[in-house]
Chains A and B, each alone.
Chain A
Amino acid sequence: MSNAIAIKTNEVQSPKSKSKKFNLLDKLSNNASLILIAIMFIAGSVLSLCLDIPVKSVMESYSYDVLVILIVMELFTNLIAETGIMQLLAIKIAELSKGQKRLCLMMFGGMMFLISSCLNNITAVMIILPVVFVLLKTLEVDRKYVCVFFATILALSNTGGAASPVGDFPAIVIMTSGITSFISYLTHAFPLFALTSIVLITVWGMRVKREQDDGAVRSLAVSTLKSQYKNIEIRFDVLRLLAVVFVGMFLAWSFVPQDVIPPEVIAILGYAVAMVICSIKKIKVRQLMDLKSVLTIASFLFFAQVISQTGLLNLVAAYLQNNIHNPKLLVMAIMVITSLIAGVFSAGPAAAAMMPVIVEICKGPLGAQLDWIAVAYAAAICAGSSFFMWSATAGFILSGKVNSAEIEEEGGGKILWGVGQYLKYGFVNYTIQLSIALAVMGMIL
């Protein structure tokens, strides 16, 4: 017996020692984003020291305001989510669509766009997903539908985020850069991104075949979903007050000059009021946020700031301006470059890196079209962030959730949705978004 144990121990030890290297690689790949954050901060600091740029002067022009708004909007979204309204909306959509897959896709997509335009898109995705999973599992969807559905949701969370100045990180960067005002950005960007979203919804909606059944299974799926959420408490009393606070924030962002009350202060004030309301009304004030994404953005903002202080970005901007004399073509070229950078390096870093270039270009002959340049820049980042799974802010989080939901095909196979599955859909999303943005800019500028 003891021999048997000894042999088994040896067997276990042998692969263990071999797998040590793999474990290390696994750990490194699992913490890739944290390592990237550290590298960006260290590389930025080393670069600034080597080029004799004091880190203090880098930090003096650092965009703290962007981080503050980003964090506050995520926390504000948590408060809205606690009222239960998002689940209610999702269930109403399922009910209205009668479980028809095409309508589900179109309506959930529309909802995603509208929510992402006001609130943090990662939190919005997280809240809607459980309801969506319950519905999809009962509807018996296939692999193709899951890919189309979540590709649409991902793209629309990006277009929604870019449609308003507080929807997502790039839009916040633009708003705080001073090249456009809150209200100008909103009035210029919202129609463009709403149009883009309609096109995306239509294109993907048409890819879903109409059901050829008697509708009983779909009806069962919807009634099951309603049963699972029939007793949830929707706190309309709190929601009304939060809506008043949010409208107040929106108005303040729109009409109070940034140098009188900066946007981040408005965000903090609004959140503080909302928090007090929720505490009085006995709503959980969850102070949860995705610190990793905030740190990633913080690190890239720092690195971009260092690069900006070296004067390199001014040279890039000057080079582009000197070689492309037609202002319209110049904007379009920058849009393509920005979108590709956003695609490869994701939206946050691209926004941080390209912003100084945009600011420089705005000082040139395109100075009269600042609002549209801001929108063009946002549209390029938005298109790029729909290109690959890793480009979008919510990409990997969404993919992880979809895979852990264990949605099964009719045959019983588990449906996976990751980088590979998204690739061709991402390319279509990118092409559609960039084409529309380029066409609109070509007509307007």
Chain B
Amino acid sequence: MDMQKTAREIGLFETGINLSKVCNSADVIQKVGASMPLPDEDIANRVPQIAAWLHGFGKSKYMFLTPEIALIEEMTKLSNQEEVIIAIPCDLEGEAKERLRNNLPRGIEVTILEEPYFPQSFFPGNGLMVVCGYSAGGRPMVLPDTYRMVEHYSGFLGKKMFISYKELETAARYDGWLEVSQQRLSTKWRRES
């Protein structure tokens, strides 16, 4: 069961919500627990908070480096004036790309941007970049293609938000995840305790 692959297609939050329903199972812990941190049970409740937090920045364009369907759906409930750009890795399988294109949330303008292309009219004044992963002892960890895209789109000088679907207290690095330099990110979302 390759949940990292699934996350590339539906985003870490949607994957996390699905996992949170079964994460007490020994089978799931054994099969998924080694490849990514299991989410908190209340992850579904945090998604609206994160959407509201992002909406609070008052930008008109949001560029996601992972296809966070759950998060974008929550954003549509807050406003339909915004535009969402989902950057997809150049090495995403053709069928997964097609599925993702057909699975875009409705009620808001969502466009797909294939790496290595750059978005049109996306400036620090109107745009915001969203990077999702998990945090390990405060260190932002992302999937390899997200890492690559963070580097590729590092020329964007606006806000780059890091949102973790799981905050670990220890600096644990899961197989296949990479740490993003803090300098590449401007703001981190922190869970209200």
Residues of A within 8 A of B (CB): 84, 130, 133-134, 137-138, 140, 213-214, 216-217, 219-221, 223-224, 227-233
Q: Does B2 contact A (CB under 8 A)?
A: yes
- A286–B24 alpha-carbon span in the complex (Å): 46
B21 at interface, CB cutoff 8 A: yes
Other contacts beyond A220-B28, A224-B6, A224-B10: 15, CB < 8 A: A84-B102, A133-B95, A138-B1, A216-B25, A216-B28, A217-B31, A220-B18, A221-B1, A223-B18, A223-B21, A224-B18, A227-B15, A227-B69, A231-B69, A231-B102
Q: Flag if B21 contacts A231 (CB, 8 Å).
A: no
Between-chain CB contacts (< 8 Å), 12 pairs: A133-B95, A213-B27, A214-B25, A216-B24, A217-B27, A220-B21, A224-B6, A224-B18, A228-B6, A230-B69, A231-B102, A233-B106
CA–CA, A140 and B2, complex, Å? 10
Does A217 lie within 8 Å of B1, measured CB to CB?
yes
Q: Does B65 contact A (CB under 8 A)?
A: no
Q: A216-B22, A219-B21 are in contact. Are A228 and B27 (CB under 8 A)?
A: no
Complex contact B103–A231 (CB within 8 A)? yes
CB distance from B105 to the nearest CB of A (A): 6
* B25: chain A residues within 8 A (beta carbon): 214, 216-217
| Given A138-B1, A224-B10, A224-B15, also A230-B21 (CB < 8 A) | no
Which B residues touch A130, using CB under 8 A?
Answer: 95, 99
- Chain A residues in 8 Å Cβ range of B15: 224, 227
Main secondary structure, interface of B, reads helix
CA A232 – CA B9 in complex, angstroms?
14
Which 3 A/B pairs are nearest by Cβ-Cβ distance? A216-B25, A216-B22, A223-B18
Q: List chain B residues, Cβ under 8 A from A230.
A: 69, 103
Contacts of A213 in B (CB 8 A): 27
Determine whether the beta carbon of B105 is less than 8 Å from that of A228. Answer: no
Chain B residues, CB < 8 A from A140: 1, 31
With a cutoff of 8 Å between Cβ atoms, the chain A residues found around residue B105 in the complex are: 231
A interface: dominant SS: helix
> How long is the Cα–Cα vector from A217 to B21 in the complex, in angstroms?
11
A217-B25, A217-B31, A223-B21 are contacts. A228–B103 as well, Cβ < 8 Å? Answer: yes
Q: How far, in angstroms, from A216 to B24 measured CA to CA in the complex? A: 9
In chain A, what residue has the closest Cβ to B105? A231
Min distance, Cβ B32 to any Cβ of chain A, angstroms = 8
The interface residues of chain A lying within 8 Å CB-to-CB of B104 are: 231
B115 at interface, CB cutoff 8 A: no
- Report whether A227 and B99 are in contact in the complex, using a CB–CB cutoff of 8 Å: no
Q: Which residues of A lie under 8 Å from residue B10 when comparing CB positions? A: 224, 227-228
Contact of B167 with A by CB under 8 A: no
A220 to B33: give the CA distance in the assembly, Å: 14
Q: Are B1 and A227 in contact (CB under 8 A)?
A: no
A231 to B24, CA, bound (A): 28
Chain B nearest CB from A135 CB (Å) reads: 12
Q: Is B19 an interface residue (CB 8 A)?
A: yes
Closest-CB distance, B102 to chain A (whole angstroms): 5
A138 to B6, CA, bound (A): 9
Q: Mark B20-52, 1 if CB is under 8 A from A, else 0.
A: 011011111001100000000000000000000
B145 within 8 A of A: no
- Name the residue in B19, B22, B28 with the highest tally of chain A Cβ atoms < 10 Å from its Cβ: B22
Q: Closest residue of chain A to B9, judged by CB?
A: A228
Which residue of chain A is the closest to B32 with respect to CB atoms?
A220
Name which residue of chain B comes closest to A408, CB basis: B2
Nearest-neighbour CB distance to chain A for B66, whole angstroms, equals 14
Complex: A407 Cα to B103 Cα, angstroms: 23
Residue pair B14, A227 in contact (C-beta under 8 Å): yes
Q: Are A220 and B69 in contact (CB under 8 A)?
A: no
With CB as the reference atom, state the residue of chain B lying closest to A221.
Answer: B1
| A232-B103 contact, Cβ under 8 Å, with A224-B6, A224-B15, A227-B14 | yes
Nearest residue in A to B28 (C-beta to C-beta)? A216
Q: For residue A138, which residues in chain B have a CB less than 8 angstroms away from its CB?
A: 1, 6
The residues of B that contact A231 with a CB separation of less than 8 Å are: 69, 102-106
Q: How far is the CA of A229 from the CA of B106 in the complex (A)?
A: 13
Return chain B residues, CB-CB under 8 Å to A220: 1, 18-19, 21-22, 28, 32
Query: In the complex, which residues 54-111 of chain B have their Cβ closer than 8 Å to any Cβ of chain A?
Result: 69, 95, 99, 102-106
In the complex, which of the residues A137, A217, A228, A233 contacts B99, with contact meaning CB atoms closer than 8 Å?
A: A228
- Bound form: Cα–Cα A138–B5 in Å: 10
> Could you tell me the distance in whole angstroms from the C-beta of A238 to the nearest C-beta in chain B?
16
The chain A residue with its CB closest to the CB of B30 is A217
In Å, the complex CA distance between A84 and B102 comes to: 10
B125 to chain A, nearest CB (A): 30
Residue of A nearest to B98 (CB): A130
Chain A residue at minimal CB-CB distance from B103: A231
Across-interface contacts of B69 in A (CB, < 8 A): 227, 230-231
* B37 to A: closest C-beta gap in Å: 16
Minimum CB–CB distance from B121 to chain A (whole Å) comes to 25
* Neighbouring A residues of B31 by C-beta, 8 Å: 140, 217
Contacts of A214 in B (CB 8 A): 25-27
Say yes or no: A229 contacts B1, CB within 8 Å.
no
